[in-house]
């Protein structure tokens, strides 16, 4: 039954249908992914106190930080490698190595701190839950490289939905977030295997003999991208780390609720530009500057308008809505909330520019930009939290995102005009 459904899903030749379906399901998948943390935190409030929300908040930070290690900056390269410079097996072996490193770091961050055992277990298991995305993305990125973004996002949406439902049901029955997360992780792994098995035969998803030289090349290419991505994730979660070391689990839980819309801005914007990554790369390599510039400006405009809309809604009704949903008084944190929303928009713009930096092969400069921003943020984060409490978290977010976005924009502007001049006068 599922094999027939998979065959029907694959056998579509009209590119317009594939693009429309890919865009639609990418939107659904990203919306669900952006809502998962908020939904889980809502059910945590039904079964536990706000301190457990604090545990979950830091667990999400560590999970995404370690996920950046697992991906090791290779996703954008895999998708944009339309010239097939590297085979699927090269990306697969690279992912295996990076995933082993991810689990090791996750173990240290979970059990190497002074956390109570239950909090440490939650951080580790939730990290694995998000880590299985790496295994799934290996296949889905190959599908997208072959022009079938739609297949990956449809399967991902189904997995997100089922695993979330399992987590909620187990949490409500047993009232234990650790046990619920473990159940959702096992279901996720099982679904990835079952879902992708019928599609592998349509794509070059075969493991060949390992080519060490290709892994070394990928490492050299991806290291700057990884460092930039890893520090970017640190910058996104720097307020949580500062709170974890200075304030209480209760305030961590409140911050987790206040910061939920940030990921909505980020993920909704990703929905808009993710389907165009390969197209932007094609335009750039073909020196189709007018088409390339048109896509870039359109995406930036969408990010700005989306951010403005969310900030306006957040000020007028968003905070009150969060109070009603989670049953916690948040009005005293309005200034923090607005700063976080603005910072979320700036961070999203920086993330988009990061994609373009990879296309421009300027990942080395990107790395230095993130290192600079990371050092400044690390130095100031503790000071800002100590002096301004949660308001300092919003200041941290705007500072770190602003540095990255401004410097990336400057580098891209100079690179674009440099290349265009060379082509024009060649």
| pLDDT tens string 16-52 | 777 788 778 887 887 888 788 888 988 998 888 777 8
pLDDT attached to residue 188: 94
Full-model pTM: 0.81
Rounded mean pLDDT, 208-229: 86
Q: Give CA separation, 68 vs 54, 103, 131, 258, 368, in Å.
A: 22, 12, 9, 23, 17
Residue 401 pLDDT more than 70? Answer: yes
Q: Which of 65-74, 124-133, 264-273, 281-290 has the highest mean pLDDT?
A: 124-133
pLDDT in tens, 235-244: 878 888 888 8
CA atoms within 13 A on the CB side of 370: 26
Residue 417 pLDDT more than 80? Answer: yes
Q: Which residues contact 167 (CB under 8 A, 6 or more apart)?
A: 40, 180, 181, 183, 184
**pLDDT band at 267; cut points 50, 70, 90:** low
Query: Phi/psi class of residue 336: alpha, beta or left (left: φ > 0; alpha: ψ in -120 to 50)?
Result: alpha
pLDDT attached to residue 426: 61
pLDDT attached to residue 266: 65
pLDDT attached to residue 1: 59
pLDDT attached to residue 378: 87
pLDDT attached to residue 125: 96
Residue 10 pLDDT more than 80? Answer: no
Q: Give CA separation, 392 vs 216, 240, 376, in Å.
A: 41, 11, 14
d(CA 90, CA 3): 28
Residue 180 pLDDT more than 80? Answer: yes
Between 363 and 317, the higher pLDDT residue: 317
pLDDT attached to residue 297: 87
Q: Give CA separation, 426 vs 220, 418, 419, 422, 423, in Å.
A: 30, 12, 10, 6, 5
Per cent of the chain over pLDDT 70 is 93
Rounded mean pLDDT, 172-180: 92
pLDDT attached to residue 16: 79
Residue 256 pLDDT more than 90? Answer: no
Rounded mean pLDDT, 299-314: 87
Residue 382 pLDDT more than 90? Answer: no
pLDDT in tens, 95-134: 999 999 999 999 999 998 888 999 999 999 999 999 999 9
pLDDT attached to residue 140: 84
Residue 92 pLDDT more than 80? Answer: yes
Residue 81 pLDDT more than 70? Answer: yes
Average pLDDT across the chain, whole number: 85
d(CA 389, CA 92): 44
Rounded mean pLDDT, 359-365: 79
Q: Which of 187-191, 293-297, 390-394 has the highest mean pLDDT?
A: 187-191
């Amino acid at each position: 039954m599922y094999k027939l459904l998979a065959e029907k899903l694959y056998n579509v030749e009209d590119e317009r249908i594939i693009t429309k379906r890919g865009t639609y399901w990418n939107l659904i998948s990203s919306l669900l992914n952006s809502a998962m943390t908020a939904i889980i935190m809502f059910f945590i409030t039904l079964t536990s106190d706000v301190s457990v929300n604090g545990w979950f908040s830091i667990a999400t930070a560590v999970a995404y930080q370690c996920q950046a290690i697992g991906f090791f900056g290779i996703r954008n390269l895999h998708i944009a490698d339309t010239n097939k410079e590297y085979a699927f097996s090269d990306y697969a072996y690279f992912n295996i190595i990076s995933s082993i490193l991810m689990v090791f770091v996750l173990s240290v961050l979970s059990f190497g701190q002074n956390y109570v055992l239950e909090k440490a277990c939650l951080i580790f298991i939730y990290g694995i839950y998000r880590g299985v995305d790496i295994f799934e993305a290996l296949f889905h990125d190959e599908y997208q490289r072959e022009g079938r973004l739609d297949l990956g996002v449809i399967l991902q949406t189904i997995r997100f939905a089922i695993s979330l439902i399992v987590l909620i049901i187990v949490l409500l029955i047993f009232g234990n977030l650790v046990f619920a997360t473990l159940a959702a992780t096992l279901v996720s792994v099982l679904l990835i295997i079952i879902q992708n098995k019928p599609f592998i035969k349509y794509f070059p998803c075969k493991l060949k003999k390992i080519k060490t030289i290709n892994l070394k090349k990928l490492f050299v290419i991806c290291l700057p991208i990884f460092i930039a991505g890893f520090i970017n994730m640190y910058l996104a979660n720097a307020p949580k780390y500062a709170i974890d070391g200075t304030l209480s689990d209760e305030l961590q839980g409140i911050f987790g609720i206040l910061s939920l819309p940030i990921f909505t801005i980020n993920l909704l914007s990703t929905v808009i530009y993710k389907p165009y990554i390969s197209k932007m790369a094609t335009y750039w390599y073909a020196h189709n500057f007018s088409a390339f510039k048109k896509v870039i400006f359109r995406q930036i405009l969408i990010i700005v308008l989306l951010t403005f809309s969310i900030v306006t809604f957040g000020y007028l009704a968003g905070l009150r809505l969060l109070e009603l949903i989670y049953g916690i008084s948040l009005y005293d944190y309005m200034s923090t909330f607005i700063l976080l929303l603005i910072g979320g928009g700036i961070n999203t713009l920086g993330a988009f520019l990061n994609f373009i930096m990879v296309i421009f092969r300027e990942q080395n400069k990107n790395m230095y930009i993130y290192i600079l921003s990371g050092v400044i943020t690390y130095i100031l984060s503790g000071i800002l939290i100590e002096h301004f409490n949660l308001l300092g978290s919003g200041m941290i977010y705007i500072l770190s995102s602003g540095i990255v976005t401004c410097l990336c924009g400057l580098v891209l502007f100079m690179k674009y005009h440099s290349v265009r001049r060379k082509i024009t006068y060649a």
